[in-house]
Structure 1
Amino acid sequence: DAMMIHIANQLRSIFTPSDYIARLGKDSFGIFVTNMKTVADAEKKAENVMDIFQKGFGFKLNYFNVSASLGMAVYPEDANFYDKLFEKSAIALYVAKDHGKAQFTKYSESMDKFSSAARKYSEYKPVNNIEERNSIVNAEIISDTIDILFDSNYSGYAIDTLLSVVGTLLEINHLIIFEASDDKKWIDATHEWAQKNEFLLEDKISHMPYEKHEKGMLFLKNLNHRFVSENDGDVYVPENFANENTLKLRRIIQCGIYDKDEFVGYLSALSYEKGKAWSKTVIDTLAMVTKIIGESIIRDRTLRKSILTSQRDQLTNTYNFNAFLNETNRVHIENREKKYAIMYIDVNQFKLINETYGYSAGDFILIEMGRIINRECGESAIVSRVTGDKFLACVEYQDEQNINEIADRISEAGKKIEDDTGAVYKLAIVIGTYVMQNGDSAIMAVDKANIARKNAQRKHILYSLYRDEMHNEIAEEKEIEDVMEEALVAREFKVYYQPKYNLTTGRVYGCEALSRWDRKGKGIVNPGTYIPVFEKNGFIKKLDYYVFEEACALVRNLMDEKKEVYPISVNFSRIHFNNDQLPEFLLETVKKYRVKPESFEIEITETALRQVDEHFRSVLSKIKEYGFSISVDDFGSGLSALNMLSDFKFDVLKIDKDFFHNQSTTEREKIVISSIAEMAEKLGMELICEGVETETQADFLESVGCHHAQGFLFSRPLPVGEFLRLVYNVDFKKP
């Protein structure tokens, strides 16, 4: 309707008062033009009509995407009577529309063949002028509304200007537009105009609870699209709005804004003049203005939602990666005086959570992590889920301690995520942080925070602040990954054996197989350099298999030489227990080398027992069923194994070497070790202590019932040849 009014006003501006303009149907107009001197003059007028659409709001604004077709017939050249003249113009209109959009055609006799097809256009009957309907509006204001609103690049400023124009022309004291939040929790006054500044409510009408709508001042949800107070004083003013001016409020008009059936907001017109009634023109015009403004607001909200959706991670509602980079760059550039840090946050072993508890539980944890990070980093933080279980946060900070506190809060909250069933998930959160410098781009800052995160993972710590030397460490890791496969094929990995001693007899009774990398051109590589890399990328499985096969080959060789076979313990990563392959591999390999499972001890670290499920237990049970012994390595590095010791019969318990921090043993260490020895004896488990370096430590261990040990006091890990000469006084021969 507003558009039809606008078009009618534009047509009037082209023609003279002696010309007749009529609306012939829903979207059609008929114009009877008088006093045209030539056909060329008539064609010029027709071109002016077409310009309304091409320049006014069609191609220029491209909002409504309105176009028009025009057919013209001329008296007396084409017809002598009005009915015939109208019929000929209808035929010309048909031909114009047939040619495509935005076409103008003048009638010619050759077009008569289309007369039957064009009849639908000539059957229109002229109707009264557009204003003469049940609704009476101020057409000038409607036309101004469209011009102001859709000729502006910024709709917010246009609406402010529009309220000023409408309020002034309709002599309204006060106009306010209220909008509901997308989640329908709040109502905000987004635009306000008043004849006098003292009427302005400003901050008093922002962020109002949606459910607290009051009659007469806030739009009621159960009302239809319009509310009009008819009598002076028939208005309730909520307490938070009350001041010496609003208490004088006499009358109010409120017109709702709806997107289909969804309530979006409303326009409120306030009168403070006693005895002044609302005219029908004012009421209807405000209703029409509200519709037009509402379309603009709905368009902006839809666009905003679309942009927001394109910027958001669909699961956690945090920013996606590209949006995070853009927003971080913007904030960093616009606030150079502030300090910002990038935190790269990773949920450790999240894949295991998905496999153990299912993807629904995994999604729940990711959603909760997004909430935790948003909450702990603060409202100003920019938070993103990068991919999978990894998040980013750009946080404003005061000092380094402030960053550490944020990281601590995130880590602590991650340890106690509880779902609706009461199940609690204790996550290990790894965080890498980079402090942004002036001139840094977001992508560079993210890369450095990621390097800090990888450094934390590599060192098995939960938090790391970026240092420049970390670049070299990452480069070394990449270099290792580039050559590890080739190195395994080339047998650069060697198996060393560290003897285990019986403290009572002083004799070797077993050994532990350990990998050493004799890297081409570099020599022996420290296991602490490559083992964490292999653990992370999964290559550790191949290396473990390789070490076990080498150990089997050694046992086979000893059996062929008729030598006594001492049990060999071999370490296996936690990764092996994610599927059923390990027990079968062990069994097939001992069969391949024709050796006995009893000759081997399968070591798993205590940290591997932190997350134990039925599948993990079944793999352990299968290994024992096949005849292999199982030992818990590094016992004492945590408390995780205690529960497993009560319901699973391990064969060997190896005390963590970290119990010996000094050359001598402290009283507290003695108490702990003697307690473990007593527990192991009662559980029927063999106890061995690694890392023994002094005679004093060895004597103490024997005194508390720990009769087995390994360490540099007895022997370092040895290449196979040296080990055989030490234990058997023979050289190793490959089978």
Structure 2
Amino acid sequence: MNGNENIPHLFLATLSKTKDFDKSLSQLLEKVGTDFNLSHITIRERNTLEYTLKTTYEWCLRKEDSSLNQLFPMTKSEWDTMAKQFDDEFFFYSTDAVTEKPSFFHVAILEKDLVGTISFEKRSAQHPWAPEELDVLKCVGYITANALLKKRAYRQADRAIDKITHFDPVTNLFTYSAFCDQATNLVQTLFTKQRMAILYADIINFKYLNDTYGVTEGDKLLRAFAHYIKKSPKNLCATRIFSDTFVMLVLLDEKSTPDSIQKRINSISNHFLKSQRLLYSRCNLEIACGVSEVNDSNLNVVLFIDKANAARKDLKARFGFGCLVFNQELEKQIEKENNLLNAIPNAFENQEFFFVLQPKVALETGKITGAEALVRWKRNDGSHLPPSDFIPLMEKTGDITRLDFFVYESVCKYLQERLRKGLRTIPISVNVSRRHLKNPLFVQTVEALILQYDIPPELLEFELTETLFLDNPEEALFLQENLHKAGFTLSLDDFGSGYSSLNLLKKMTLDIIKIDKSFLEGESINSVDKVIIDSIIHMAKLLKITVLCEGAETLEQVQYLRKAHCEIVQGFYFSKPISIEAMNLLLDTDKIFVIPNAPETLLSC
């Protein structure tokens, strides 16, 4: 055999160690073809199409006879017939159509089922296969088949890893990182030829759907939305970032305007929702979508994602759902927020934050019985920033927790100073951010503060808002229970502004409820607001809870509240928020606010 019996060892050694499998296999096939006087060696593997073989590797004597990369489709019957021809040793002969002599020798590539064939064709059918040739070629076939199966397994593993890495398991859309890569490439390729935009959308009331119909139905909706996105001719690529939040890169018509974009997306959204509302009739499904046109190919695509998200958030805050295209006004808002974000660390470092106090006045005596601490920011240039500019931003970034504890400690220092001097000291209320709910050591940290400054816990009042309980009811109830056990005074702020105020009274242990200032809008109180205020006060007294009404700005309002037996009032009628020095003056002079009696017309209302 002229040393050909060593070829299987060469195949095994080479294919098990090579770093370039395709090149090594091609070279080995050429050696076998030449040494064994063959005309073809063809490896065909099952294609992704059912019952179709594809020539994946080949050696042939004449290049013009090549079938490399060609597909060979079969019927199921033809496939089954071929598979049955392989014997127990996984090979069979086939004959030449002209000479009718066995010129082909086939070896099976098998996993559980047939996944391919390795075929050896003699150069001349006139010469039969020698037994020793067949033994060598069988070994070569088996070794090659095993190597191909290993490569196939690696390929399948790579595809599985790629799917996990690059595709969302629920919707089969890109993962966020894969989307960013794909979108960046598309923008670079298409920017000069086509207008494009980023869409940032979420499904309103999806959480309610999940809770009502179950997670399985929720996933069905997500898949339906993903399918709807993918089949859109304008869609270039898309991702599900998390939950029901999707981001897309889409094509825009050349003549698109912000108004036409908004109308078009609203129309597309409503078309999708129409069918889904029939399936989930108990949920008021809507879609909120922000849009940002990609107007600079040199900028990171993430910037346009952020802009589209900003438009979506602004839309939801103002309208709840629909579509909004990012505009100049939002651009200025983002720039302002970014400037503030960069300034916050320095503000802490430079002690630019401070607190002011707004007095709380007992209507029966006119005396100050407490105060609320309100944070302020005075920048180094002397300018003052309103809380509405920085509090929501710090809530978003998490800096609010640091700011809150700055206020808590500053208030403790203030109270300690007055106690040390033997001066009249009143309880001071502070706000609690929802961010603190995630801190299991919040109560212990506050307790450590009052121990450090030797402050009785009843001098520190914590104001909890209704939204705190709506977002995280169990955590909020746990927090208020532990604060109360530690001896702190608790108040429910903005009472009556939401839909769950009465329900919360059943669950909470409260000392004070603060009636929301919305009931006192306008110079006079209308009859409906009076009925509600009267009812709240009456109910609170039965529950032995103190009532404070905030936002009183006129004498008429104050007179009405006194008549309604509201115990404490906080508002501009008595005082705006004032400095510590101004509050000290009021306390040290034992300030009494005189409230004139209401005229008969008011009393009779």
* Cα drift, residue 716 of structure 1: 0.9
Measured at CA, do residues 66 and 536 of structure 1 come closer, stay the same or move farther in structure 2, by a change above 3 Å? Answer: same
1:636 CA displacement? 3.1
Per-residue deviation, 1:313: 4.0
Superposition map of 1:198-347 within 5 A: 219=76, 225=82, 260-261=111-112, 311-313=166-168, 317-321=172-176, 323-325=178-180, 327-328=182-183, 341-344=197-200
Give the counterpart of 1:401 among 263, 272, 278. 263
Structure 1 residue 66, shift from structure 2 partner: 3.3
Report the equivalent of 1:46. Answer: none
Is 2:334 the partner of 1:487? Answer: no
Tell me how far 1:589 sits from its aligned partner.
1.7
Aligned counterpart for 2:293 among listed residues 433, 436, 451: 436
Query: How far apart in 1 are the matches of 2:308 and 2:195?
Result: 19
Shift of 1:625: 0.9
Shift of 1:311: 3.7
User: Higher relative contact order by CA 8 Å / sep ≥ 6: 1 or 2?
Assistant: 2
Tell me by how many angstroms 1:442 deviates.
9.8
3-state SS, counterpart of residue 564 of structure 1: coil
Q: Contact 1:432 / 1:454 at 8 angstroms: preserved in 2?
A: no
The within-5 A match list for 1:25-104 is 62=23, 65-67=26-28
**What's the CA shift for 1:369?**
8.3
Specify the alignment match of 1:181 in structure 2.
none
Aligned to 1:673: 533
Q: Is the Cα contact below 8 Å between 1:343 and 1:394 reproduced in 2?
A: yes
TM-score, scaled to structure 2? 0.63
Structure 2 match to 1:711:
571
Q: Secondary structure at the match of 1:718?
A: coil
Deviation of residue 571 (structure 1)?
A: 0.6
Contact 2:291 2:312 in 1 (8 A): no
- The equivalent of 1:374 in structure 2 is 226
Give aligned pairs, total. 485
Q: 2:546 aligns with which of 674, 686, 704?
A: 686
Which amino acid is the alignment partner of residue 394 of structure 1? L
The C-alpha deviation readout for 1:317-374, integer Å capped at 9, x for no partner, is: 32134542465467777799997642335899x9xxxxxx9xxx9x999967853651
Paired residue secondary structure (1:509): strand
Is the CA contact 1:342–1:435 (under 8 Å) kept in the aligned structure 2?
yes
Please give the per-residue CA displacement for 1:479-527, whole angstroms capped at 9, x wherever unaligned: 3333323322432211100111223433322110010011111421111
The amino acid of 1:260's aligned partner reads E
Is this contact kept in 1: 2:203–2:245, CA < 8 A?
A: yes
State the SS of the aligned residue for 2:375: strand
Looking at structure 2, the residues matched to 306 and 499 of structure 1 have their Cα atoms a distance apart, in angstroms, of 63
Question: Take 2:269 and 2:425, find their aligned partners in 1: how far apart are those partners?
Answer: 52
Preserved CA contact (<8 Å) 1:633 1:655? yes
The partner residue of 1:521 within 381, 397, 417 is 381
CA distance in structure 1 between the aligned counterparts of 2:495 and 2:285, rounded to whole angstroms: 22
* Alpha-carbon distance in 1 for matches of 2:531, 2:304: 45
Matched to 2:27, the amino acid is: V
1:404 shift after superposition: 4.7
Question: What amino acid maps onto 1:65 in structure 2?
Answer: S
Q: 1:535 to 1:27 in 2, by over 3 A?
A: same
CA contact (8 A) 2:357 2:371 kept: yes
Matched, 1:540 2:400: yes
Does the CA contact (< 8 Å) of 1:432 and 1:451 recur in 2?
A: no
Q: Give the alignment partner of residue 450 of structure 1, picking from 306, 312, 324.
A: 306
How far, CA to CA, are the matches of 1:497 and 1:411 in structure 2? 50
- Bigger Rg, which one: 1
Amino acid at match of 1:374: A
Deviation at 1:608, TM superposition (A): 0.8
The 1:601–1:521 alpha-carbon spacing in structure 2 relative to 1, beyond 3 Å, is same
Structure 1 residues 587 and 399, CA gap change in structure 2 (3 angstroms): same
What is the deviation of 1:449? Answer: 3.5
Instruction: Give deviations 1:404-445, integer Å, cap 9, x for gaps.
Output: 577799999999x99xxxxx999999x6622425x5549655
Deviations 1:615-637 (A, max 9, x none): 44333212111111111112233
Q: 1:730 to 1:650 in 2, by over 3 A?
A: closer
Residue by residue over 1:653-691, the C-alpha shift from the partner in whole angstroms, topping out at 9 and shown as x without a partner, is 112223444333344433433333333233322222222
Which of 593, 604, 609 is the matching residue for 2:453? 593
| AA matched with 1:556 | Q
Letter in 2 for 1:393: M
Partner of 1:392: 247
Q: Secondary structure at the match of 1:693?
A: coil
Question: For residues 129 and 492 of structure 1, what CA distance do their matches in structure 2 show?
Answer: 87
- Cα distance in 2 for partners of 1:306, 1:591 equals 55
What is the alpha-carbon distance in structure 1 between the residues aligned to residue 182 and residue 443 of structure 2?
51
- In structure 2, what is the Cα distance between the partners aligned to 1:557 and 1:63? 85
Contact 2:184 2:300 (8 Å CA) reproduced: no
Counterparts of 2:520 and 2:276 in 1: how far apart (Å)?
32
Question: Structure 1's 532 and 369: CA in aligned 2 closer, same or farther, altered over 3 A?
Answer: farther
Change (3 A) 1:517 1:24: closer
* Alpha-carbon shift at residue 547 of structure 1 (Å): 1.0
- Measured in 1, the distance between the counterparts of 2:465 and 2:78 equals 63
Other structure's SS at 2:455 match: coil
Q: Tell me which residue corresponds to 2:368.
A: 508
Change (3 A) 1:145 1:511: farther
- 1:558-569 aligned at under 5 Å gives the runs 558-569=418-429
Decide whether aligned partners of structure 1 residues 510 and 478 sit closer, same or farther in structure 2, where only a CA change above 3 A counts.
Answer: same
Q: Deviations over 1:83-128 (max 9, x none)?
A: xxxxxxxxxx9xxxxxxxx9x9xxxxxxxxxxxxxxxx9xxxx999
| AA aligned opposite 2:566 | C
| Alignment check: 8 A CA contact 1:495 1:547 kept | yes
2:415 aligned with 1:555, yes or no?
yes
CA contact (8 A) 2:292 2:304 kept: no
